[in-house]
């Protein structure tokens, strides 16, 4: 068993050192299961971002990371993957305490997937290379050599959310490091310790000082990171409104951006599927991580011929879900992350009822579980496509069942939002599945499954769900520049004058 990592409370991680915030400010971390504070975190600001960027720039200039042999850098990322697995207990305890994630989910999915991301990108480190290209000019044939170099874009500013506090940093740090970048990570204020543990694991694995820096805190740090003149690349996972602000700021210096933003994903169920399988897929699609998932299939589109049966079966399964503290290994649903998120979710539940949706399961705050932020898993039916619950991201354990007649109407409803992150299609008809997959406007389409992701395949959204792709070989491009080199090899170099 690995020796426990020491992360000093209330500290930032800059240039390989644990350091207090410049202002000395700290803020309490609240346990979502109890609504009680359990620790303090450093409230980093613009000065701390500047220190972190300076450390990352120094690491880039001195080639502390890029100067290491590519195969050794690959081994370092592989050791990070091993370190994540070795410290699974500490990581899962931090996540459960910070965002209420059920322990079983943290250990079964979040931690192994994060480790796999580093394993995957460790294999891509030696694959970062240019190519030799043909070259020609008008007139007599000359002797020229043209080739490209692939170089890191520079310091990468990474901003990550609270719902997957280990996996989202992994999605960004792993390709940034594989490309040779140094990084400044600004995690969500609700989940700082998980990010700091990852930085400590990276140091243990051999990542040099200054290559990974973590500044915890709120909006001040995030705004300063996006606006910093020496950060040419920003990658963020967050709300669409936040992504729009990032784009506006980044445009002032023509920064490169990767935006993984909101979603209101449709899970489309045709009447030829096995009902129990479709219900299981819908449950996993909506209620995973208490519904706090960007690609949650919270719009369940059901063909009208089976809609009544489906709603009855789904409601029965939802009633059997165990809601409890994330620390309870038997909990299927933990609390939502904060009092603010609780208010948001309950507000959407109230609005759905007021707009005419029919509540068939759940709908309550579970006060019998104490002061924690627990919401009963909820199902609405008789939902129309124009209702807010069918258009806006709830980010909680709430599903909206919408009926449709045929393929054409299903596609019209599915594409009838400003989002396009993901979609699910359930049918035994292969031709129909492929027609629907081609027609739906979404970055990821699942056929007869939902939520399954792999480090090997790209992930990202259409429309207001984002720009660019994370994971897969495409992710490296976001952190690399292409430099073209053209050499004149003729005895008499080309001259026009």
Distance (Å) of CA 205 to CA 77, 78, 83, 186: 8, 8, 7, 21
The answer to whether residue 260 is catalytic is: yes
Active-site residue flag, 98 = no
Point out the catalytic residue in the list 260, 376, 393, 470: 260
CA neighbor of 94 nearest in space, from 169, 24, 19, 157: 169
Tell me how far apart the alpha carbons of residues 153 and 233 are, in angstroms, rounded to a whole number.
Answer: 7
Three-state SS string over 306-371 comes to HHHHHHHHHHHHHHCCCECCCCCCCCCECCCCCHHHHHHHHHHHHHHHHCCCEEEECCCECHHHCC
Longest dimension (CA), the chain: 87
Residue 409, burial from CB neighbour count under 10 angstroms (0-12, 13-18, 19+): middle
Q: DSSP letter string over 240-300?
A: HHHHHHHHHHHHTTT-EEEEE-----EEEE-TTS-HHHHHHHHHHHHHGGGG--TT---EE
Which residues does 241 contact at the CB level (< 8 Å), separation at least 6? Answer: none
Which of 90, 98, 110, 294 does the annotation list as catalytic? 294
Give the E-state strand segments of 375-467 in sequence order: 378-381, 398-404, 419-420, 422-426, 444-447, 462-463, 466-467
Q: Which residues are catalytic?
A: 260, 294
């Amino acid at each position: 068993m690995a020796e426990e990592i020491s992360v000093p409370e209330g500290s930032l991680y800059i240039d390989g050192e644990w350091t207090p915030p410049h202002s000395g400010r700290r803020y309490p971390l609240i346990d979502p299961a109890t609504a009680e504070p359990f620790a303090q975190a450093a409230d980093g600001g613009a000065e701390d971002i500047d220190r972190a960027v300076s450390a990352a720039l120094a690491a880039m200039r001195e080639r502390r990371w890029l100067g290491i042999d590519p195969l050794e850098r690959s081994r370092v990322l592989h050791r990070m993957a091993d370190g994540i697995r070795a410290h699974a207990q500490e990581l899962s305890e931090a996540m459960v305490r910070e965002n209420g994630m059920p322990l079983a989910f943290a250990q079964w999915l979040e931690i192994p997937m994060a480790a796999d991301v580093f394993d995957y990108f460790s294999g891509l480190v030696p694959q970062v290379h240019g190519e030799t290209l043909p070259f020609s000019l008008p007139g007599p044939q000359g002797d020229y050599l043209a080739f490209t170099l692939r170089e890191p874009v520079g310091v990468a500013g990474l901003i990550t959310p609270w719902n997957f506090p280990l996996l989202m940093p992994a999605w960004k740090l792993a390709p940034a490091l594989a490309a040779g970048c140094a990084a400044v990570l600004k995690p969500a204020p609700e989940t700082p310790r998980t990010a700091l543990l990852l930085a400590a694991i990276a140091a243990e694995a051999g990542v040099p000082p200054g290559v990974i820096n973590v500044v915890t805190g709120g909006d001040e740090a995030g705004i300063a990171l996006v606006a910093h003149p020496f950060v040419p690349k920003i990658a963020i996972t967050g709300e669409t409104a936040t992504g729009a602000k990032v784009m506006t700021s980044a445009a002032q210096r023509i920064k490169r951006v990767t935006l993984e933003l909101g979603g209101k994903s449709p899970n489309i169920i045709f009447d030829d599927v096995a009902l129990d399988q479709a219900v299981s897929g819908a449950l996993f699609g909506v209620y995973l991580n208490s519904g706090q998932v960007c690609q949650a299939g919270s719009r369940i589109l059901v063909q009208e011929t089976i809609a009544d049966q489906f709603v009855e079966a789904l409601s029965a399964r939802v009633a059997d879900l165990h809601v409890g503290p994330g620390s309870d290994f038997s909990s299927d649903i933990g609390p939502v992350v904060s009092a603010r998120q609780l208010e948001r979710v309950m507000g959407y539940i109230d609005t759905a009822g007021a707009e005419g949706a029919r509540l068939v399961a759940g709908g309550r705050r579970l006060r019998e579980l104490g002061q924690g932020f627990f919401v009963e898993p909820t199902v609405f039916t008789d939902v129309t496509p124009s209702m807010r619950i069918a258009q806006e991201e709830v980010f909680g354990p709430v599903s909206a069942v919408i009926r449709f007649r045929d393929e054409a109407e299903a596609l019209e409803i599915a594409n009838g939002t400003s989002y396009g992150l993901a979609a699910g299609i359930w049918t035994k008809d292969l031709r129909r599945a492929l027609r629907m997959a081609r027609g739906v406007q979404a970055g990821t389409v699942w056929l007869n499954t939902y939520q399954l992701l792999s480090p090997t395949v790209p992930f990202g959204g259409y429309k207001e769900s984002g720009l660019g792709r994370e994971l897969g070989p495409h992710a490296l491009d976001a952190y690399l520049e292409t430099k073209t080199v053209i050499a004149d090899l003729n005895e008499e170099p080309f001259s026009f004058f």
